[in-house]
Amino acid sequence: MQHRIFVSLCAAIMAIMACAGAVAGTLEDVKKKGVLVVGVKTDYPPWGSRDQAGNIVGMEPDMAADLAKRLGVKLEMVPVLSSNRMQFLQQGRTDVMIATMSINDERRKAVGVVEPLYYASGVAMLARKSAKIQGLAQLKGRKICALQGAYYNREVSERWVQGELVAFRGVTEGEQATLSGQCEAFLYDDAILIFKKASEPDKWRDFDLVTIPDIAPLPWGIAVRTEDRDAEWGKYVSGVIVNWHRSGLLMELEKKWLGANTPWLTEMNGKAGK
């Protein structure tokens, strides 16, 4: 009996040591196999989507390509969804995840969020020009369309509109209500609205893009497995993100895909250059 317990204990220790060695050597493993596997979105343009030929394109696929290039390996992009992107990473199906993941305490416990953060979505409005809305101070008593569940809805509703927002389940419904005159502005994530204003100029020609610096942006992060965050692989990815900020690459990619730069990324670029 004691012999069986001893054998089982030894096997468990060996398994743990093997696992630790595999995690610690992720960077070495990627270089050895010659392929970097990155989890990316294909349902969230312009950060990740498929073009007419079926290729995965967007700002984050471009970031993944740059990371693979720096490593001198081939890139394999695995499509992930918000519902499975962390599981793919935990299961070892991807080496790193660059997939529009906003950061909170719960997600930091599930995966290894790499610092510094690379992006953030703030808040903005597409406001009808005739309404002459320049910021939150002009929203009192107005009809403002928004999306249900947005983290900033309650603050905007109680503090500035001082009334209920006209909240919809989907973006399309909110857009249609705003365009039809049901609302004077559409309140949503700034990065999405910048993209819409730039990519659909005729549709939004009667609307101004109004950014809202009063509300703190929600940061996005790149993730590795929890065990990798403070190991060689996590440190390597961290160094690359720092370089992306200092070199202005993220600014270039954002302007390429969104048509303009968001206030958060512009501020980060300025800090990185100091």
pLDDT tens by residue, 49-76:
999 999 999 999 999 999 999 999 999 9
Determine what percent of the chain is predicted with pLDDT higher than 70: 91
Average pLDDT over residues 135-164: 94
pLDDT at 88: 97
CATH hierarchy code of domain 26-120+219-272: 3.40.190.10
Domain extents in the chain: 26-120+219-272, 123-211
DSSP state of 131: G
Strands (E), 150-256: 166-168, 185-189, 207-211, 218-220, 223-224
Beta strands 43-44 and 112-113 are unpaired
Q: Are 120 and 262 in contact (CB under 8 A)?
A: yes
pLDDT at 8: 40
211 vs 8, which has greater pLDDT? 211
Round to whole Å and give the CA distance between 123 and 264: 11
| One-letter-per-residue 3-state SS of 53-111 | CCCEECHHHHHHHHHHHHHCCEEEEEEECCCCHHHHHHCCCCCEECCCCECCHHHHHHC
Could you please state the CATH topology (level 3) that the domain comprising 123-211 is classified under: D-Maltodextrin-Binding Protein; domain 2 (3.40.190)
Distance CA 178, CA 160 (A): 19
The answer to whether the predicted template modeling score (pTM) of the entire model surpasses 0.75 is yes
User: Is residue 232 over pLDDT 50?
Assistant: yes
- The model's confidence at residue 252, banded by pLDDT at 50, 70 and 90, is very high
31 and 73 in contact (C-beta within 8 Å)? yes
Neighbours of 103 (CB within 10 A): 16
Residue 156 C-beta-side C-alpha neighbours within 13 Å: 32
